Amino acid sequence: MSYQFNLYDAFSGINAMEKSKVVHFLCGHNSHSNRQSILEAVEYAVKLKPSFGGFVLTAEIDRQIVGVVVANRTGMESYNPKNLFVFVSLHKDHEEEALVEALLQKAIRYADGDVAMHVEPDNPALKLYQKLGFQAQYLELRLSKPNKASAVA
């Protein structure tokens, strides 16, 4: 199967229709994030919001998105990787190992510096990520603070 890969970053930009397609795809193929956080990651990646930038890489068949990587640059290099793959998502009908491997290899080549990604422990692609060189290093703990509007002074 032949895929068309498209790269969007601060230099190439992303038009409103392309951004909408990417956000819509990620909303439909990522159950762990809401539309607002997806939109924010995409806008940071292409510097539509003040950020260190990053990129969005899509794979398409017949102009339909079948895979996406959203990478945000962190602004760090020594104690945290320079790049964070915020989203790596495939269409449920196109979850072939060859596609995710090609998509990730292109994203890794484009990322200038080390790369991190958050992965659920039961993710079926975990072994492939490890095959590509990713290694588990830390357990991430998060504390969600209440909204400022509802916080007690």
- Structure tokens of 80? 């945290």
SS (H, E, C) the chain: CCCEEEEECCCCCCCHHHHHHHHHHHHHCCCCCCHHHHHHHHHHHCCCCCCCCEEEEEEEECCEEEEEEEEEECCCCCCCCCEEEEEEEECCCCCCHHHHHHHHHHHHHHCCCCEEECCCCCCCCHHHHHHCCCCCCCCCCCCCCCCHHHCCC
Confidence of residue 123 (pLDDT cuts 50, 70, 90): confident
Between 12-16, 28-32, 46-50, the lowest mean confidence (pLDDT) is in 28-32
User: Which are the contacts of 62, defined by CB distance < 8 A and separation ≥ 6?
Assistant: none
Provide the Cα torsion 78, 79, 82, 85; round to 10°: 160
Tell me how far apart the alpha carbons of residues 95 and 84 are, in angstroms, rounded to a whole number.
22
Specify whether the backbone of 41 is left (phi greater than 0), alpha (psi in -120 to 50) or beta: alpha
**pTM, two decimal places:** 0.91
Whether the predicted pLDDT of 149 surpasses 70: no
- For the stretch 22-34, pLDDT in tens is 999 999 998 889 9
Per-domain residue ranges of the chain: 4-150
CATH of 4-150, one of 3.40.630.30, 3.30.470.30, 1.10.10.10, 3.30.70.520: 3.40.630.30
Question: Which pLDDT score is estimated for 32?
Answer: 85
